[in-house]
A and B are shown apart, each in its own frame.
Chain A
Amino acid sequence: MTNSIDTSIYTAITEAIQDEARRILSERSVIAVVGYTAARRKGSAQPVVITQADDAGKLIFSAACVNNLAVYLTKAKKEIPKGGKIGIVVKGCDLKALVGLLGESQLKREELYLIGVPCAGVLASTAQPARELTGDTIAPKCRECDNHLPQGCDFVPDQRPVTLELAGKYSAEIARLEAMTPAERWAYWKEQFKKCIKCYACRQVCPFCFCEQCLCDRNKPQMVETTPRPAGNTAWHIVRAMHLAGRCAGCAECERVCPMDIPLNLLNRKMAKELKELYDYEAGFEVREKGPLAMYDEKDDQSFIK
């Protein structure tokens, strides 16, 4: 096959991550490292938190390391030891989420040690973990990745990913939806939202859904209907899309975990595209005190006021 993607650097990256984790843990410059380790099924990977230098050998990086580990520093922070600096393995897309969290007072840079991964791509959720990474098995987000080599980390293994030029699936899908009439588009999304079972896996896995009590769980007054019925589903998806606009940088974890195959990241990408067009803003590249939706600038386009 000509469209296979070279992942040979992942072996060297794995070693480099292990060495670095061992060093920082034994020097006690961090109290824990959040990374990936091999899971039971052949070729698969899962998140892990290690606190001992001796465990550094457990860490890996492979095309199955799909999770965005940033989420562990927010919602699940109870599982992360307290009282010191945390090391974390981040791909380019995960880093964007971290950058966002820094800007939203959820994390402090001086309390993090970032181990960046030069990344050629990871497997799509539809591919078996042991599959070879190719233009067909690669995750859709990786086809449009603009951050293969994370910047501003404390440590990045000295490898350079080789990538393929692949046609963007999200951009093509957005173009298709944009060409529709509003009625057709509404019908499309209604169909999608109808499928939602309100399991909230998407919310659980999203690094930005760090609210202790989501607006959708409030009952006094009830903001969003809780049962999975069309009106409440639509309300939830509008809340989700709007709350992530200007924040979500596209780790696509929501879409990966959705059991009903709702194209959640498609909506996120469309919102991101709007922000780019309206405010020339792209989330995740620099820590910003204020995103465009939280500020007023006299230069903002006012033409919508008639």
Chain B
Amino acid sequence: MSRIGVFICHCGENISRTVDVERVAAQVGTLPGVAFSTDYKYMCSDPGQGLLKKAIQEQRLSHVVVAACSPRMHEKTFRKAVESAGLNPFLCEMANIREHCSWVHEDREEATQKAIEIVGMMVERVKKNRVLPTITVPVTKRSLVIGGGIAGIQAALDIADCGHEVVLVEREPSIGGHMAQLSETFPTLDCSQCIMTPKMVDVANHPKIKLYTYAEIEHVEGYIGNFQVTVRKKARSVDEDKCTGCGVCMTKCPQKKIPNTFDRNLGMRPAIYVPFPQAVPNTPVIDRENCTKFKTGKCGVCQKVCGPGAVDYEQEDQLIVEPVGAIVVATGFDLYSIEEKPKGSPIKGYGEFGHGKIPDVIDGMTFERLASASGPTGGKILRPSDGREPKQIVFIQCVGSRAREKGISYCSKICCMYTAKHTMLYHHKVHDGQAYVFFMDARTPGKSYDEFWRRSIEEEEAVYIRGMVSRLYQKGDKIVVMGSDIAVGVQVEIEADMVVLATAVQPQKGADTLAQKLGISYDKYHFYSEAHAKLRPVECATAGIYLAGACQGPKDIPDTVSQASAAAAKVMTLFAKDKLEREPIVAKVREAGCVGCFYCRKVCPYGAVEEKEIRDRQGNLIKVVAYVNPGVCGGCGTCQATCPSKSVELDGYTDEQIVAMIESL
């Protein structure tokens, strides 16, 4: 007979406010098999755990149910406590009466009834729990970093400096990300390239970093400590080992009229190109869509002029499998576009701003390229339409951000600061010019941030107008900006030479596809979700996968770098052990029932199912059945749901346990 102990937690008042915990304890105490039942203010606290341990010993408890919050946070806590009192940790279960009950109900009577049922279910379930021994698995001490922006670069360098190999995968032909495009950076106005390029070179030269650029993640298998990642190295059409980076091919390529996306299409580049002169690696790539050789079969100039014979038109995509133990996702952000968006997209674009068709209405990143000394204008602020210097410039903040009607309700966090920066850069370069800023409010929490913003107004004399812009339109060679100044309560109309929009920060395109490959979750905007908003901000809920930078939410460089180093620290913590203890929640095959259809193998996302031959004593083959490798099984239970004859079950989640729960209702 079981001697189950049930512990009902008040969670301060989180639970006891709506649930009559004492009544739950009393009621559950009458269930057959329950030997002890009590309630306590904070079960997870030291005294709470002490109460649990004491009861196990004094009451000779055989199983434990802790009715409290979601098991996500504290299942480990209580199982550890149970273990230290001498019971197998898997004889302890949690009943969630907070998220599943007190937080979502108002009626005290009904919530109490529901809590009694939830705890009752877990009591029936725990009776069927079996002792499970802990499983240990080896850790592959190599890490994958996805995305080579400042986040990925920082994480890769930190991990590699600690002596562990890093595989860095970047989608573009060069690492650098958005920071490589910036001119000068707030809050210090130091040159972005100057602080970024040395780090990029460090990555290229680091003996522990294996860099794949122009590459993407094709496929991910495995689990914490033991991932198998397939990388697709896209055909560059240039042999990286042979190329010396001399650049002759680029100067000789006759096709030079391709808009350079790195320069936000302000400048042109050839069909064989590096995105910017400081690119790492300095190996060009052929843009096959625009290359004459690929389009018509004629040309081939680059191959002829290349001294070392590195140009290879036949090159194909390569698939490379990399075993790694941890993954850092650092895929960064993209910018909202005011253009009209296709149906189905939550983004509406800005018809009132001309849907991106007014040439001198640009976004912040384009302004960065104009202000950059290495940009298409050599650092001069010039209008894209006619190359003239704008004398009146209007900046508009919160374009897309905090605009629910445009599909986004969050604040992009960086725009207030970079707009202040833009006004300063503009005034430094155009001495007789005037900058205006339309803003809702200035959000400048950060070290030296408010001082920076104030400087743009007080010293650099930018005119800040609190209010929204309702319309932009072209009039002659001016852009009419119609807005309101809500501080004074008047309509404002400015005839500007140029307008710069601080468009919202969004996740990279395809962020959802990558998340599905990795098995991590994302929010409705496709920003990746951390495991806990406060206490586990750099970890994914999926063990062994960590987040860094703007892929998790809008961030400036200091925040990005801090998070990247934090993610690296998490990876190093994981790598500090040779073996990983893992939960013994793995699938087992009931060989008597298994008919070897191998549906389980077909659906297993971890590749854990193998074939096993059953032979009689004479060695004759009787049948072939499925076998689950416990080291590889991720405990997802997909096989259990798929097996037609119910011949494979997850330890800790057996059909008996689940049916017992259902039947208790």
Contact = CB atoms under 8 A, between A and B. Distances in A.
A104 B655 contact: no
A117 B267 CA distance: 69
B513 A298 contact: yes
A214 B660 CA distance: 21
A221 B660 contact: yes
Contacts of B645: 211-215
B132 interface: no
A223 interface: yes
Contact of A294 (B595, B642, B656, B659): B642
B595 A215 contact: no
Contact of B595 (A211, A223, A289): A211
A106 interface: yes
B602 interface: yes
Interface residues of B, number: 21
Contact of B659 (A215, A221, A243, A298): A221
Nearest to A223: B646
B599 interface: yes
Contact of B516 (A104, A221, A294, A298): A298
Interface in A192-243: 210-215, 218, 220-223, 243
Contact of A213 (B513, B593, B599): B593
B598 A218 contact: no
Interface string B618-648: 0000001000000000000000001011110
A290 interface: yes
A105 B602 CA distance: 11
Interface residues of A, number: 20
A215 B647 CA distance: 9
Given A211-B645, A214-B645, A221 B602 contact: no
B592 interface: yes
Contacts of A289: 602
Nearest to B600: A294
Contacts of A104: 597-599
A221 B592 contact: no
Contacts of B492: none
Contacts of B659: 221-223
B656 A220 contact: yes
Given A221-B660, A298-B513, A105 B596 contact: yes
Nearest to A82: B620
A105 B644 contact: no
Contacts of A220: 656
Contacts of B655: 221, 223
Given A210-B595, A211-B593, A290 B516 contact: no
A295 B597 contact: no
B603 A294 contact: yes
B592 to A, nearest CB: 7
Contacts of B603: 294-295
Nearest to B611: A105
A260 B567 CA distance: 65
A243 B656 CA distance: 21
Nearest to B654: A221
B525 to A, nearest CB: 16
Sorted from nearest, which 3 A-B pairs have the closest CB atoms? A221-B659, A211-B645, A294-B602
Interface of B: 513, 516, 592-593, 595-599, 602-603, 624, 642, 644-647, 655-656, 659-660
22 contacts: A104-B598, A104-B599, A106-B595, A106-B597, A210-B595, A211-B644, A211-B645, A212-B593, A212-B595, A213-B592, A215-B646, A218-B593, A218-B646, A220-B656, A221-B655, A221-B656, A221-B659, A290-B602, A294-B642, A295-B602, A298-B513, A298-B516
